[in-house]
Amino acid sequence: MPYVHRTALGEIDSLHRHPLPGASEFLDNEHPDVQRFVGNSGSAPASFVQLDAEFVRVVEDLIDTLIGRNVIAVTDLPPQAQAKLFARKSLRDRLAGKTLTLFPNTGFSEVIDDTAFGPL
């Protein structure tokens, strides 16, 4: 939550934690002028976040394909990756209800000790 100092043209030229002479205007961190000053242009981060989300889905689908074709086994992945993959699939199943199920419910998941995975 910065106090801003502006140029004669009204552009922010510095941010401060506390009010100073010439920097007494307080703006929220999310204010467009503050975001522009720190290098976050309006639509670029949102589009990059969207691309990241779509890319994560591509990677997940790639893993599903490799497992489905017996190129790799899910146990070939590090334990933390397995936990994150299962957590993501579980969440997608609950939210969408229409996801590809590569791991049929065998009841085996109830005997896996996932305490070593730590927080996801």
pLDDT recorded at residue 62? 93
Residue 71: is its pLDDT beyond 90? yes
SS3 string of 38-99? Answer: CCCCCCHHHHHHHHHHHHHHHHHHHHHHHHHCCCCCHHHCCHHHHHHHHHHHHHHHHHHCCC
Q: What angle do CA 53, 55, 59 make, to 5 degrees?
A: 120
To the question of pTM greater than 0.85 for the whole model, the response is no
Higher-pLDDT residue of 39, 61 = 61
For the stretch 3-31, pLDDT in tens is 899 898 988 888 888 888 888 899 888 88
Q: How much is the mean pLDDT over the chain? A: 79
